[in-house]
A and B are shown apart, each in its own frame.
Chain A
Amino acid sequence: MESIFFAVSALILAPLAGGLLSGIDRRITARMQSRLGPPILQAFYDVGKLFGKERLLVNRWQIVCCWVYFVAAALSVALFFAQADLLIIFFVQAAGAMFLVMGALSTKSPYSQVGAQRELIQILTYEPLLILVFVGIYLEVGSFNVGEIMAYNTPLIQKLPLMFIVLSYALTIKLRKSPFDFSTSHHAHQELVKGVLTEYSGPVLAVIEMAHWYETVLILSVCALFWTTSWFWMIALLVATYLVEIIIDNTMARMTWRWMLKYVWSIGLVLTFINFIWLHVR
Protein backbone atom coordinates (compact mmCIF):
# COMPACT_ATOMS: atom_id res chain seq x y z
CA MET A 1 0.00 0.00 0.00
CA GLU A 2 2.78 2.35 0.98
CA SER A 3 4.67 1.62 -2.20
CA ILE A 4 1.63 2.55 -4.32
CA PHE A 5 1.39 5.83 -2.45
CA PHE A 6 5.06 6.55 -3.15
CA ALA A 7 4.67 5.58 -6.80
CA VAL A 8 1.67 7.86 -7.34
CA SER A 9 3.26 10.82 -5.58
CA ALA A 10 6.43 10.28 -7.64
CA LEU A 11 4.34 10.30 -10.81
CA ILE A 12 2.96 13.70 -9.85
CA LEU A 13 6.07 15.27 -8.34
CA ALA A 14 8.72 14.00 -10.77
CA PRO A 15 7.72 16.18 -13.75
CA LEU A 16 7.50 19.20 -11.46
CA ALA A 17 10.98 18.48 -10.13
CA GLY A 18 12.32 17.72 -13.60
CA GLY A 19 10.93 20.92 -15.11
CA LEU A 20 12.17 23.03 -12.23
CA LEU A 21 15.59 21.42 -12.51
CA SER A 22 15.68 22.17 -16.22
CA GLY A 23 14.81 25.83 -15.50
CA ILE A 24 17.47 26.12 -12.81
CA ASP A 25 19.94 24.46 -15.16
CA ARG A 26 19.26 27.03 -17.89
CA ARG A 27 19.52 29.86 -15.38
CA ILE A 28 22.87 28.71 -14.00
CA THR A 29 24.15 28.07 -17.53
CA ALA A 30 23.17 31.64 -18.48
CA ARG A 31 24.94 33.03 -15.43
CA MET A 32 28.07 31.11 -16.35
CA GLN A 33 27.95 32.81 -19.74
CA SER A 34 27.41 36.19 -17.99
CA ARG A 35 23.81 36.38 -19.16
CA LEU A 36 20.70 36.87 -17.09
CA GLY A 37 18.91 33.75 -18.26
CA PRO A 38 15.24 32.79 -18.53
CA PRO A 39 12.78 32.58 -15.62
CA ILE A 40 13.08 29.47 -13.43
CA LEU A 41 9.68 28.27 -14.68
CA GLN A 42 10.70 28.59 -18.33
CA ALA A 43 10.59 24.84 -18.96
CA PHE A 44 6.91 24.80 -17.94
CA TYR A 45 6.13 27.77 -20.19
CA ASP A 46 7.81 25.97 -23.09
CA VAL A 47 5.78 22.82 -22.58
CA GLY A 48 2.59 24.82 -22.01
CA LYS A 49 3.16 26.66 -25.25
CA LEU A 50 3.87 23.46 -27.17
CA PHE A 51 0.59 21.96 -25.94
CA GLY A 52 -1.22 25.00 -27.32
CA LYS A 53 0.32 24.68 -30.77
CA GLU A 54 -1.29 23.21 -33.85
CA ARG A 55 -0.62 19.49 -34.27
CA LEU A 56 1.39 18.88 -37.42
CA LEU A 57 2.07 15.17 -37.82
CA VAL A 58 4.23 13.46 -40.37
CA ASN A 59 2.58 10.10 -39.67
CA ARG A 60 0.56 8.40 -36.94
CA TRP A 61 3.54 6.45 -35.66
CA GLN A 62 4.78 9.62 -34.04
CA ILE A 63 1.84 9.74 -31.64
CA VAL A 64 2.27 6.10 -30.64
CA CYS A 65 6.00 6.49 -30.19
CA CYS A 66 5.89 9.68 -28.15
CA TRP A 67 3.26 8.25 -25.81
CA VAL A 68 5.06 4.92 -25.35
CA TYR A 69 8.24 6.88 -24.59
CA PHE A 70 6.33 8.99 -22.07
CA VAL A 71 4.53 6.08 -20.40
CA ALA A 72 7.74 4.04 -20.17
CA ALA A 73 9.63 6.95 -18.61
CA ALA A 74 6.81 7.65 -16.14
CA LEU A 75 6.41 3.96 -15.34
CA SER A 76 10.11 3.52 -14.65
CA VAL A 77 10.03 6.43 -12.20
CA ALA A 78 6.89 5.01 -10.55
CA LEU A 79 8.53 1.57 -10.29
CA PHE A 80 11.63 3.10 -8.77
CA PHE A 81 9.67 4.87 -6.05
CA ALA A 82 7.53 1.78 -5.50
CA GLN A 83 10.89 0.16 -4.67
CA ALA A 84 10.78 -2.40 -7.42
CA ASP A 85 13.65 -4.27 -9.02
CA LEU A 86 16.39 -2.18 -10.65
CA LEU A 87 16.55 -4.50 -13.67
CA ILE A 88 12.82 -4.15 -14.40
CA ILE A 89 13.13 -0.38 -14.15
CA PHE A 90 16.08 -0.49 -16.50
CA PHE A 91 14.27 -2.57 -19.12
CA VAL A 92 11.15 -0.40 -19.02
CA GLN A 93 13.26 2.71 -19.47
CA ALA A 94 15.26 1.15 -22.32
CA ALA A 95 12.09 0.10 -24.17
CA GLY A 96 10.82 3.69 -23.97
CA ALA A 97 14.10 5.09 -25.26
CA MET A 98 13.86 2.78 -28.26
CA PHE A 99 10.42 4.10 -29.16
CA LEU A 100 11.73 7.66 -29.33
CA VAL A 101 14.23 6.44 -31.94
CA MET A 102 11.57 4.47 -33.83
CA GLY A 103 9.35 7.54 -34.08
CA ALA A 104 12.24 9.53 -35.52
CA LEU A 105 13.09 6.73 -37.96
CA SER A 106 9.48 6.56 -39.17
CA THR A 107 9.90 9.88 -41.01
CA LYS A 108 11.88 10.56 -44.14
CA SER A 109 13.66 13.71 -42.99
CA PRO A 110 17.43 13.15 -43.23
CA TYR A 111 18.03 15.20 -40.08
CA SER A 112 15.62 13.07 -38.12
CA GLN A 113 17.29 9.93 -39.52
CA VAL A 114 20.80 11.08 -38.62
CA GLY A 115 19.62 12.13 -35.17
CA ALA A 116 17.93 8.75 -34.65
CA GLN A 117 21.07 6.84 -35.64
CA ARG A 118 23.11 8.93 -33.25
CA GLU A 119 20.57 8.43 -30.48
CA LEU A 120 20.88 4.67 -31.06
CA ILE A 121 24.65 4.92 -30.65
CA GLN A 122 24.12 6.90 -27.46
CA ILE A 123 21.76 4.25 -26.12
CA LEU A 124 24.30 1.60 -27.09
CA THR A 125 26.92 3.52 -25.13
CA TYR A 126 25.17 4.18 -21.86
CA GLU A 127 22.92 1.12 -21.43
CA PRO A 128 25.75 -1.42 -20.83
CA LEU A 129 27.35 1.00 -18.38
CA LEU A 130 24.05 1.40 -16.54
CA ILE A 131 23.74 -2.40 -16.32
CA LEU A 132 27.28 -2.59 -14.96
CA VAL A 133 26.42 -0.01 -12.31
CA PHE A 134 23.43 -2.14 -11.27
CA VAL A 135 25.63 -5.23 -11.21
CA GLY A 136 28.09 -3.36 -9.00
CA ILE A 137 25.28 -2.46 -6.62
CA TYR A 138 24.18 -6.11 -6.62
CA LEU A 139 27.70 -7.34 -5.85
CA GLU A 140 27.81 -5.09 -2.80
CA VAL A 141 24.25 -5.26 -1.49
CA GLY A 142 23.25 -8.71 -2.76
CA SER A 143 19.98 -7.51 -4.22
CA PHE A 144 18.57 -5.55 -7.15
CA ASN A 145 15.63 -4.39 -5.05
CA VAL A 146 15.55 -0.62 -4.52
CA GLY A 147 14.10 -0.98 -1.03
CA GLU A 148 16.89 -3.29 0.11
CA ILE A 149 19.53 -1.08 -1.46
CA MET A 150 18.11 1.91 0.40
CA ALA A 151 18.13 -0.03 3.66
CA TYR A 152 21.83 -0.90 3.26
CA ASN A 153 23.81 0.37 6.21
CA THR A 154 26.83 2.01 4.55
CA PRO A 155 26.79 4.60 1.76
CA LEU A 156 27.42 2.77 -1.51
CA ILE A 157 29.70 5.55 -2.72
CA GLN A 158 32.31 4.31 -0.23
CA LYS A 159 32.30 0.91 -1.88
CA LEU A 160 31.59 1.89 -5.46
CA PRO A 161 33.21 5.31 -5.99
CA LEU A 162 34.34 4.47 -9.51
CA MET A 163 30.91 3.11 -10.43
CA PHE A 164 29.47 6.49 -9.49
CA ILE A 165 31.75 8.10 -12.07
CA VAL A 166 30.56 5.53 -14.62
CA LEU A 167 26.95 6.40 -13.71
CA SER A 168 27.69 10.09 -14.19
CA TYR A 169 28.78 9.35 -17.76
CA ALA A 170 25.39 7.75 -18.35
CA LEU A 171 23.77 10.79 -16.71
CA THR A 172 25.60 13.20 -19.02
CA ILE A 173 24.57 11.22 -22.10
CA LYS A 174 20.98 10.89 -20.89
CA LEU A 175 20.72 14.61 -20.13
CA ARG A 176 22.01 15.28 -23.67
CA LYS A 177 24.75 17.54 -22.41
CA SER A 178 28.06 18.41 -24.05
CA PRO A 179 30.32 16.66 -25.01
CA PHE A 180 27.64 14.03 -25.75
CA ASP A 181 24.83 16.21 -27.16
CA PHE A 182 24.97 15.11 -30.75
CA SER A 183 21.66 13.31 -31.24
CA THR A 184 19.81 16.54 -30.52
CA SER A 185 21.09 19.87 -29.37
CA HIS A 186 20.05 23.49 -28.99
CA HIS A 187 23.37 24.51 -30.47
CA ALA A 188 23.63 22.37 -33.57
CA HIS A 189 21.19 23.92 -36.04
CA GLN A 190 23.63 24.07 -38.91
CA GLU A 191 24.65 20.48 -38.47
CA LEU A 192 21.46 18.54 -37.84
CA VAL A 193 18.64 21.05 -37.18
CA LYS A 194 17.21 19.32 -34.08
CA GLY A 195 18.33 15.76 -34.74
CA VAL A 196 16.09 13.08 -33.34
CA LEU A 197 13.44 15.66 -32.37
CA THR A 198 13.31 17.40 -35.78
CA GLU A 199 10.04 15.88 -36.93
CA TYR A 200 8.29 15.96 -33.56
CA SER A 201 6.47 19.24 -33.06
CA GLY A 202 3.77 20.92 -31.01
CA PRO A 203 1.95 18.72 -28.45
CA VAL A 204 3.97 15.67 -29.45
CA LEU A 205 7.19 17.49 -28.60
CA ALA A 206 5.66 18.61 -25.31
CA VAL A 207 5.00 14.98 -24.37
CA ILE A 208 8.60 14.08 -25.20
CA GLU A 209 9.86 16.99 -23.14
CA MET A 210 7.86 15.76 -20.14
CA ALA A 211 9.16 12.23 -20.66
CA HIS A 212 12.64 13.72 -20.61
CA TRP A 213 11.91 15.26 -17.20
CA TYR A 214 10.90 11.84 -15.91
CA GLU A 215 14.09 10.31 -17.25
CA THR A 216 16.20 13.01 -15.62
CA VAL A 217 14.54 12.30 -12.30
CA LEU A 218 15.05 8.55 -12.76
CA ILE A 219 18.79 8.81 -13.39
CA LEU A 220 19.22 11.28 -10.53
CA SER A 221 17.32 8.86 -8.28
CA VAL A 222 19.75 6.11 -9.25
CA CYS A 223 22.55 8.53 -8.30
CA ALA A 224 20.78 9.09 -4.97
CA LEU A 225 21.05 5.35 -4.23
CA PHE A 226 24.77 5.89 -3.71
CA TRP A 227 24.23 7.72 -0.43
CA THR A 228 21.05 6.58 1.25
CA THR A 229 22.16 6.65 4.88
CA SER A 230 21.69 10.39 5.37
CA TRP A 231 19.28 12.82 3.71
CA PHE A 232 21.75 15.66 3.93
CA TRP A 233 24.54 13.85 2.12
CA MET A 234 22.16 12.39 -0.44
CA ILE A 235 20.99 15.86 -1.43
CA ALA A 236 24.54 17.24 -1.29
CA LEU A 237 25.67 14.44 -3.59
CA LEU A 238 22.88 15.15 -6.09
CA VAL A 239 23.46 18.90 -6.08
CA ALA A 240 27.21 18.44 -6.53
CA THR A 241 26.69 15.93 -9.35
CA TYR A 242 24.31 18.22 -11.20
CA LEU A 243 26.57 21.25 -10.78
CA VAL A 244 29.47 19.29 -12.21
CA GLU A 245 27.21 18.29 -15.13
CA ILE A 246 26.46 21.96 -15.84
CA ILE A 247 30.14 22.91 -15.64
CA ILE A 248 31.06 20.06 -18.00
CA ASP A 249 28.27 21.12 -20.36
CA ASN A 250 29.60 24.68 -20.48
CA THR A 251 33.27 23.90 -20.82
CA MET A 252 33.19 21.05 -23.32
CA ALA A 253 32.71 21.14 -27.08
CA ARG A 254 30.36 18.72 -28.80
CA MET A 255 32.36 15.66 -29.88
CA THR A 256 31.71 12.92 -32.42
CA TRP A 257 29.95 9.63 -31.74
CA ARG A 258 33.11 7.65 -32.55
CA TRP A 259 34.97 9.52 -29.86
CA MET A 260 32.13 8.92 -27.39
CA LEU A 261 31.97 5.21 -28.07
CA LYS A 262 35.73 4.76 -27.69
CA TYR A 263 36.16 7.08 -24.76
CA VAL A 264 33.13 6.22 -22.66
CA TRP A 265 33.38 2.47 -23.15
CA SER A 266 37.13 2.30 -22.50
CA ILE A 267 37.06 4.56 -19.45
CA GLY A 268 33.78 3.07 -18.23
CA LEU A 269 34.93 -0.52 -18.56
CA VAL A 270 38.32 0.14 -16.98
CA LEU A 271 36.74 1.94 -14.03
CA THR A 272 34.21 -0.87 -13.63
CA PHE A 273 36.95 -3.50 -13.79
CA ILE A 274 39.04 -1.77 -11.12
CA ASN A 275 36.06 -1.25 -8.88
CA PHE A 276 34.89 -4.87 -9.18
CA ILE A 277 38.39 -6.20 -8.44
CA TRP A 278 38.58 -3.94 -5.44
CA LEU A 279 35.20 -5.18 -4.20
CA HIS A 280 36.37 -8.75 -4.63
CA VAL A 281 39.83 -8.41 -3.04
CA ARG A 282 38.75 -6.44 -0.01
Chain B
Amino acid sequence: MLKNFLKNSQIKSPWIIHFDCGSCNGCDIETLACLTPLYDVERFGIINVGNPKHADILLVTGTVNYRNKAVLQNLYDQMPEPKAVVAIGACGLSGGVFHDSYNVIGGVDKIIPVDVYVPGCPAKPEAIIDGVVQALEKFKQKQAGDPQSPESAEA
Protein backbone atom coordinates (compact mmCIF):
# COMPACT_ATOMS: atom_id res chain seq x y z
CA MET B 1 0.00 0.00 0.00
CA LEU B 2 2.81 2.36 0.93
CA LYS B 3 4.56 1.57 -2.35
CA ASN B 4 1.39 2.36 -4.25
CA PHE B 5 1.01 5.60 -2.36
CA LEU B 6 4.58 6.63 -3.20
CA LYS B 7 4.01 5.78 -6.86
CA ASN B 8 0.74 7.66 -6.88
CA SER B 9 2.21 10.75 -5.27
CA GLN B 10 4.80 10.91 -8.05
CA ILE B 11 1.97 11.84 -10.37
CA LYS B 12 -0.05 13.93 -7.95
CA SER B 13 2.64 16.40 -7.03
CA PRO B 14 4.57 17.69 -10.03
CA TRP B 15 6.63 20.73 -9.09
CA ILE B 16 7.61 22.72 -12.15
CA ILE B 17 10.50 24.99 -12.85
CA HIS B 18 10.18 27.44 -15.69
CA PHE B 19 13.24 28.52 -17.66
CA ASP B 20 13.08 31.33 -20.20
CA CYS B 21 15.74 30.27 -22.67
CA GLY B 22 15.66 33.42 -24.77
CA SER B 23 11.96 33.64 -25.46
CA CYS B 24 10.14 36.83 -26.55
CA ASN B 25 8.12 36.52 -23.27
CA GLY B 26 4.95 35.53 -25.11
CA CYS B 27 5.16 31.91 -23.97
CA ASP B 28 6.38 32.98 -20.54
CA ILE B 29 3.28 35.08 -19.98
CA GLU B 30 1.11 32.17 -21.07
CA THR B 31 3.03 29.80 -18.78
CA LEU B 32 2.61 32.07 -15.78
CA ALA B 33 -1.05 32.55 -16.70
CA CYS B 34 -1.51 28.87 -15.75
CA LEU B 35 -0.91 29.85 -12.13
CA THR B 36 -3.67 32.47 -12.07
CA PRO B 37 -7.12 31.80 -10.57
CA LEU B 38 -8.55 31.21 -14.08
CA TYR B 39 -6.42 28.12 -14.80
CA ASP B 40 -5.23 27.39 -11.23
CA VAL B 41 -2.77 24.55 -11.81
CA GLU B 42 -2.43 24.05 -8.05
CA ARG B 43 -5.60 21.94 -8.47
CA PHE B 44 -3.27 19.23 -9.77
CA GLY B 45 -0.74 19.81 -7.02
CA ILE B 46 1.48 21.75 -9.41
CA ILE B 47 3.69 24.33 -7.74
CA ASN B 48 5.97 26.72 -9.58
CA VAL B 49 9.30 26.40 -7.78
CA GLY B 50 12.41 28.46 -8.39
CA ASN B 51 14.85 25.72 -7.51
CA PRO B 52 15.86 22.96 -9.96
CA LYS B 53 16.74 20.70 -7.01
CA HIS B 54 13.07 20.69 -5.97
CA ALA B 55 11.59 20.45 -9.45
CA ASP B 56 10.14 17.45 -11.29
CA ILE B 57 9.27 19.05 -14.61
CA LEU B 58 11.32 21.59 -16.52
CA LEU B 59 9.32 23.95 -18.73
CA VAL B 60 11.51 25.62 -21.33
CA THR B 61 10.40 28.47 -23.56
CA GLY B 62 12.36 30.09 -26.36
CA THR B 63 15.30 29.25 -28.58
CA VAL B 64 18.60 27.94 -27.34
CA ASN B 65 21.64 29.99 -28.24
CA TYR B 66 25.35 29.62 -27.64
CA ARG B 67 25.25 31.74 -24.50
CA ASN B 68 22.50 30.02 -22.58
CA LYS B 69 22.93 26.39 -23.58
CA ALA B 70 25.25 25.85 -20.61
CA VAL B 71 22.63 27.29 -18.25
CA LEU B 72 19.95 25.02 -19.68
CA GLN B 73 22.20 21.98 -19.37
CA ASN B 74 23.12 22.97 -15.82
CA LEU B 75 19.48 23.34 -14.75
CA TYR B 76 18.67 19.96 -16.25
CA ASP B 77 21.60 18.27 -14.53
CA GLN B 78 20.65 19.71 -11.15
CA MET B 79 17.17 18.19 -11.25
CA PRO B 80 16.90 14.86 -9.38
CA GLU B 81 15.36 11.86 -11.16
CA PRO B 82 12.60 11.17 -12.11
CA LYS B 83 12.31 14.29 -14.23
CA ALA B 84 10.68 15.41 -17.44
CA VAL B 85 11.21 18.26 -19.88
CA VAL B 86 8.43 20.12 -21.65
CA ALA B 87 9.45 22.38 -24.55
CA ILE B 88 6.97 25.19 -25.10
CA GLY B 89 6.25 27.28 -28.19
CA ALA B 90 7.52 27.25 -31.75
CA CYS B 91 10.94 28.56 -30.67
CA GLY B 92 11.39 25.93 -27.99
CA LEU B 93 10.45 23.19 -30.44
CA SER B 94 12.66 24.08 -33.37
CA GLY B 95 13.98 27.60 -33.06
CA GLY B 96 10.83 29.00 -34.70
CA VAL B 97 11.31 32.06 -36.86
CA PHE B 98 14.80 32.42 -35.42
CA HIS B 99 15.93 28.95 -36.51
CA ASP B 100 18.51 30.23 -39.03
CA SER B 101 19.84 33.14 -36.99
CA TYR B 102 23.61 33.15 -36.63
CA ASN B 103 23.46 32.87 -32.82
CA VAL B 104 20.69 30.28 -32.52
CA ILE B 105 21.39 26.59 -32.02
CA GLY B 106 17.75 25.57 -32.46
CA GLY B 107 15.16 23.83 -30.31
CA VAL B 108 15.57 22.68 -26.73
CA ASP B 109 16.09 19.07 -27.84
CA LYS B 110 19.44 19.99 -29.33
CA ILE B 111 20.81 20.26 -25.78
CA ILE B 112 18.67 18.12 -23.45
CA PRO B 113 16.20 15.28 -24.04
CA VAL B 114 12.64 16.62 -24.39
CA ASP B 115 9.66 14.51 -23.34
CA VAL B 116 6.74 16.63 -24.50
CA TYR B 117 6.50 19.26 -27.22
CA VAL B 118 3.85 21.98 -26.85
CA PRO B 119 3.54 23.92 -30.12
CA GLY B 120 2.06 27.40 -30.50
CA CYS B 121 3.16 30.96 -30.92
CA PRO B 122 2.50 31.55 -28.12
CA ALA B 123 1.27 28.22 -26.74
CA LYS B 124 -2.09 28.49 -24.98
CA PRO B 125 -2.24 27.91 -21.21
CA GLU B 126 -4.60 24.97 -21.82
CA ALA B 127 -2.01 23.40 -24.12
CA ILE B 128 0.75 23.95 -21.56
CA ILE B 129 -1.31 22.30 -18.81
CA ASP B 130 -2.02 19.45 -21.21
CA GLY B 131 1.71 19.17 -21.88
CA VAL B 132 2.47 18.85 -18.18
CA VAL B 133 -0.24 16.19 -17.82
CA GLN B 134 1.34 14.28 -20.71
CA ALA B 135 4.73 14.56 -19.01
CA LEU B 136 3.10 12.93 -15.97
CA GLU B 137 1.92 10.11 -18.23
CA LYS B 138 5.59 9.59 -19.07
CA PHE B 139 6.31 9.24 -15.36
CA LYS B 140 3.64 6.57 -15.18
CA GLN B 141 5.15 4.73 -18.15
CA LYS B 142 8.59 4.90 -16.58
CA GLN B 143 7.20 3.46 -13.34
CA ALA B 144 5.54 0.63 -15.23
CA GLY B 145 8.94 -0.14 -16.69
CA ASP B 146 7.99 0.54 -20.31
CA PRO B 147 10.93 1.36 -22.51
CA GLN B 148 10.71 5.01 -23.41
CA SER B 149 9.06 5.51 -26.78
CA PRO B 150 11.38 7.53 -28.98
CA GLU B 151 8.76 9.69 -30.69
CA SER B 152 7.28 12.29 -28.36
CA ALA B 153 3.62 13.11 -28.03
CA GLU B 154 2.13 16.25 -29.49
CA ALA B 155 0.19 18.38 -27.04
Contacts and interface: CB of A to CB of B under 8 A. Distances in A.
B99 interface: no
B47 A52 contact: no
A110 interface: no
A26 interface: yes
B40 A52 contact: no
14 contacts: A36-B40, A38-B43, A45-B9, A45-B12, A48-B6, A48-B9, A48-B13, A54-B81, A55-B80, A188-B50, A199-B53, A200-B53, A201-B51, A205-B54
Given A33-B37, A194-B51, A201-B54, A45 B80 contact: no
Interface residues of A, number: 35
A262 interface: no
A37 interface: yes
B28 interface: no
Contact of A56 (B47, B49, B53): B53
Contact of A38 (B42, B48, B49): B42
Nearest to B17: A189
Nearest to B46: A38
Most buried by A among B43, B53, B54, B80: B53
Contacts of B78: 56
A33 B37 CA distance: 7
Most buried by B among A33, A54, A188, A201: A201
Contacts of A201: 51, 53-54, 80
A184 to B, nearest CB: 10
A46 B53 contact: no
Interface of B: 5-10, 12-13, 37, 40, 42-45, 47-51, 53-54, 56, 78, 80-82
A190 interface: yes
A205 B44 CA distance: 21
Nearest to B43: A36
Interface of A: 26, 30, 33-39, 42, 44-49, 51-56, 186, 188-190, 193-194, 197-202, 205
A201 B81 CA distance: 11
Contacts of B42: 26, 30, 35-38
Nearest to B35: A35
A39 B13 CA distance: 10
Given A49-B10, A52-B9, A199-B53, A30 B40 contact: yes
Contacts of B9: 44-49, 52
Nearest to A52: B6
A108 to B, nearest CB: 14
Given A189-B50, A201-B80, A35 B7 contact: no
Contact of B45 (A38, A55, A188, A190): A38
Contacts of B47: 186
Contacts of A193: 50-51
A34 B56 CA distance: 26
Nearest to B81: A54
B5 A48 contact: yes
Contacts of A189: 48-51
A56 B80 contact: yes
Given A42-B12, A52-B10, 11 more contacts: A36-B42, A36-B43, A37-B43, A42-B45, A45-B45, A49-B9, A49-B12, A189-B50, A193-B51, A194-B51, A201-B54
Most buried by A among B7, B10, B44, B51: B51
Contacts of A47: 9
A188 B49 CA distance: 9
B49 A49 contact: no
B56 to A, nearest CB: 7
A194 B50 contact: yes
A106 to B, nearest CB: 15
A38 B9 CA distance: 13
B7 A52 contact: yes
B12 to A, nearest CB: 4
Contacts of A37: 40, 42-43
A252 B143 CA distance: 42
Contact of B40 (A35, A48, A56, A199): A35
